[in-house]
Amino acid sequence: MLADKLYFADKVKKINSFDWSQERTLVITNSAIYNIHKKSVKRVIPLKEIGGITKTIAPSKNVGEFTIHVPREYDYRFSSAAK
């Protein structure tokens, strides 16, 4: 079995439906996106399940936000310092 290839990993803020944020590590590999809290994997989204990604742009005050759309489940909203 081949290991996943790591493309990206960074700290982000996950934003829930109440607009509360929690620090997470977002990891993107060649097969999935991982939501990691401390040392626990909270969610794995296979890339084939992602319907799209929306990034908030100026003039919005939430320029660092993006949403991962997962049609068969629920979407994930994140905020990142990287723009």
Question: Hey, how many other C-beta atoms are within 10 angstroms of the C-beta on 61?
Answer: 8
Please give the CATH architecture assigned to the domain spanning 6-79.
Roll (2.30)
User: Per-residue pLDDT tens for 59-73?
Assistant: 777 778 999 999 999
Domain ranges within the chain, ordered by starting residue: 6-79
User: Per-residue pLDDT tens for 15-61?
Assistant: 988 989 999 999 999 999 999 999 999 999 999 999 999 998 877 77
pLDDT score of 17: 87
HSE (CB half, 13 Å, CA atoms) of 46?
Answer: 3
| Residue type at position 51 | G
Q: Tell me how far apart the alpha carbons of residues 26 and 53 are, in angstroms, rounded to a whole number.
A: 14
pLDDT score of 1: 54
pTM, two decimals, is 0.82
